[in-house]
Amino acid sequence: MQSLGSTRRSFAPWADPDAKPYIRFENVTKRFGDFIAVDDLSLTIYEREFFALLGASGCGKTTLLRMLAGFEHPTSGRVLLDGQDLRGVPPYRRPVNMMFQSYALFPHMDVASNIAFGLKQDGMQKGEIAERVAQMLKLVQLEPFAKRRPHQLSGGQRQRVALARSLAKRPKVLLLDEPLGALDKKLREETQFELMDLQHELGLTFIVVTHDQEEAMTMADRIAVMEKGRVMQVATPAEIYEAPASRFVAGFVGSINMFEGVLVKADGGAAEIRDRSGAPLLVGEAPAAAPGGTVWLAVRPEKMRVTRERPPEAANVLEGEIWDIAYLGDMTVYNVKLDDGRIIKASMMNSQRRLEDALTWHDRAWISFPADAGVLLTS
Amino acid sequence: MGRLFSALGSRLVIAVPYLWLFVFFLVPFFIVLKISLSQTAVAIPPYLPVFGLDEGFAGLVRNLRELSFENYLWLLGDPLYLNAYLSSLWIAAVSTILTLLIGYPIAHGMARAPLALRPVLLMLVILPFWTSFLIRVYAWIGILKPEGLLNQLLLFLGVIDQPLVIINTTTAIYIGIVYSYLPFMVLPLYATLEKMDYTLIEAAQDLGCTPIAAFWKITLPLSLPGVVAGSMLVFIPAVGEFVIPDLLGGSGTLMIGKTLWSEFFSNRDWPVSSAVAVILLLILVAPIVYFQRAQARARERA
């Protein structure tokens, strides 16, 4: 569990106690009438970080982004950028730029004018503007489209124009509101990597709002999982996935099997719980709860094995019937119905092209997983 | 058989508006055009020749030969008519600009009002139409006359010590036209402004525009189709306006609608007044065509 740091370029300022926070939300609350969009939220983001706000719609993630851009103002609390309190600073004086979910391209201007818009506002020299626009067009590979109007572009091209326009002023922080939401799956995946490269190349701080967990996992250094205006967990993608802090986070990111049980015994680096059906489950981790308390063991499907015979050495085994099979090519997901009616999801990599004696519907099967496969949760 | 009927049916449906335009626009226009080429006469109707079929084809040809452009030459020769045309165009243009200046903030405010409030505001704009146009113009006489409501209020407040002379001046005409045609400006402007994506303004501000700069660079250019539509809807009828200058402008004001009326009713000179009307139509064809083009362009872009 110790090695679940950033998976990229050994960049982890959040682990460094001396690192200076770049953006800070301090006890920020935002109310719209009776509705609490953001609820006493505190969050720290570091320079050059690719940070994702992940959550379902209405969780407050876009409100958070808009507060940083200056379109919404906290009901209480402070937002700081590079040590400066942003209260009272209008959007047009903030060193941040936003890429809007709808792209918000100006329909009466061509691509080049859209990109040049912010530069003209800053009173930049004409020659310099032309140079920067050319540079931006090259960056997003839209050089042949400089004279086109937005309505003459495809969705992917529009997305690139929006990106180029928001990057043209070289903001300290780029805010991206569902930047890939309107693209189809294939284009989305390509663009994810392009955004990562771009962020790395330009050395900017990116804050992206998304409801797509895969997108957040792929791109972000850290993810804040949000619900009902609160941050449920802030961690690297690997930590979020492998060491979720709560049942909500575990269930929100990826699929998971949850075993509710009572903690029977906890000593040293291991614990035993008794689940609803009375079966003992062994966990290779000492929980924060005292024996007798209710705990949840969360196990990812890919950490489980499905076999026809009972594996002799497995720490945890459960018997059931193959209820459903989803063949996905790279792997197969089995839904196994335990004898007490619970459905357990287990996935197996298809590392061989052909499998003799493959499991099929209504076969009896054993699910097994080692003691360190799951996470013990207390909330 | 059924297909034949349905094809016939769809043609009939298309034929209805064409028939309407033919009967109620094209035919009257040619009648007016013909009268404008005739001579005044003490007769019923008060012009010659009168076309009829009783003398057959030869009679028709002879009547056609009698038509002439004499009335048009007469109009060109008398500076009264030229001045009336120019004065009408000027008054209509100034009124249109005033209406735009007043109507734009109203439409903008309506388009940015809370969603629940917008139908109410729209209703308030349309509400004056529930009262007769003529009555509303008469009401302005009561407001603007020397002993009217406006002067009484200003005297009471001590702003002035002598009643202002507004009625029977051009100012009164401007007030009347701006008041009467304001909804025609506000409604198309509201329609374009309401459709506009507000995130564009946010994007402009995000890129460094103050709210005022964002208005000039984004809101105004994007609302131009509405500006053109509203301006045409005010300008075109204002040029030929008769009731407002007649009731509020007094005898001193010169507008082509009034000139036409007096030629027709006071002088009983149908041919000259028809010529006045035909020239007015020709003057207005240019803005009307421009308006149609702008509308078509706006539709294409949408």
* Same domain for A163 and A27: yes
* Same domain for A161 and A296: no
B207 and A106 within 8 Å at the Cβ level: the answer is: no
Q: For residue range A215-264, what is the model confidence (pLDDT) as tens digits?
A: 999 999 999 999 999 999 999 999 999 999 999 999 888 889 998 888 88
| Number of Cβ atoms within 10 Å of the Cβ of B91 | 24
Residue pair B231/B237 in contact by the 8 Å Cβ criterion = no
Greater confidence (A177 vs A312) lies with: A177
Residue pair A69/B206 in contact by the 8 Å Cβ criterion = yes
- Model pLDDT, residue A11: 80
- Tell me how close the Cα of A140 comes to any Cα of chain B, in angstroms: 19
Q: What's the pTM value of the predicted model, to 2 decimals?
A: 0.81
Predicted interface score ipTM higher than 0.85: no
Q: Is A133 on the interface with B (CB under 8 A)?
A: no
B207 and A118 within 8 Å at the Cβ level: the answer is: yes
Amino acid residing at A329: G
Q: For residue range A113-156, what is the model confidence (pLDDT) as tens digits?
A: 999 999 999 889 999 999 999 999 988 889 999 999 999 999 88
Contacts of A100 in chain B (CB under 8 A): 199, 202-203
CATH number where A196 lies: 3.40.50.300
Report the number of distinct structural domains present in chain A. Answer: 2
Q: Which of B199, B208, B222 is the closest to A92 by Cβ?
A: B208
Q: Which CATH class is domain B70-301?
A: mainly alpha
Contacts of A98 in chain B (CB under 8 A): 202-203, 206
- Tell me how close the Cα of A93 comes to any Cα of chain B, in angstroms: 7
Q: Which of A102, A118, A165 is the closest to B199 by Cβ?
A: A102
* Same domain for A294 and A239: no
Residue pair A294/A280 in contact by the 8 Å Cβ criterion = no
* Same domain for A224 and A86: yes
* Containing structural domain, residue A321: 255-377
- Tell me how close the Cα of A90 comes to any Cα of chain B, in angstroms: 9
* Same domain for A296 and A240: no
- Tell me how close the Cα of A74 comes to any Cα of chain B, in angstroms: 18
Give the integer Cα–Cα distance in Å for A1 and A15: 15
Strand partners, B246: none
Residue pair B256/B199 in contact by the 8 Å Cβ criterion = no
* Same domain for A188 and A46: yes
Whole-number Cα distances in Å, A184 to A111, A175, A177, A188: 22, 21, 17, 6
* Same domain for A268 and A229: no
Whole-number Cα distances in Å, A92 to A47, A106, A205: 21, 17, 19
Q: Is residue A122 part of a domain?
A: yes
Q: Is residue A8 part of a domain?
A: no
Residue pair A23/A95 in contact by the 8 Å Cβ criterion = no
- Model pLDDT, residue A8: 55
Q: Is residue A62 part of a domain?
A: yes
Take residue A229 and report the two structure tokens written for it. 């205006």
Q: Is residue A4 part of a domain?
A: no
Q: Is A129 on the interface with B (CB under 8 A)?
A: no
* Same domain for A168 and A310: no
- What is the average pLDDT score of chain A? 88
A100 and B199 within 8 Å at the Cβ level: the answer is: yes
By mean pLDDT, which of A291-295, B38-42, B118-122, B219-223 is the weakest? A291-295
Take residue A4 and report the two structure tokens written for it. 């679940």
Residue pair A237/A220 in contact by the 8 Å Cβ criterion = yes
Give the integer Cα–Cα distance in Å for A299 and A373: 6
Q: Which residues of B107-129 are buried (b: 16+ CB within 10 A; e: fewer)?
A: bbebbeeeeeeeeebbeebeeee
- Evaluate the CA torsion angle A281, A286, A290, A291 in order and state its sign: positive
Contacts of A69 in chain B (CB under 8 A): 202, 206
Q: Is B202 on the interface with A (CB under 8 A)?
A: yes
Side-chain half-sphere exposure of A171, counting CA atoms within 13 A: 28
CATH number where A369 lies: 2.40.50.140
* Same domain for A184 and A82: yes
* Same domain for A67 and A105: yes
- Model pLDDT, residue A1: 39
By mean pLDDT, which of A172-181, A304-313, B232-241 is the weakest? A304-313
Q: Is residue A200 part of a domain?
A: yes
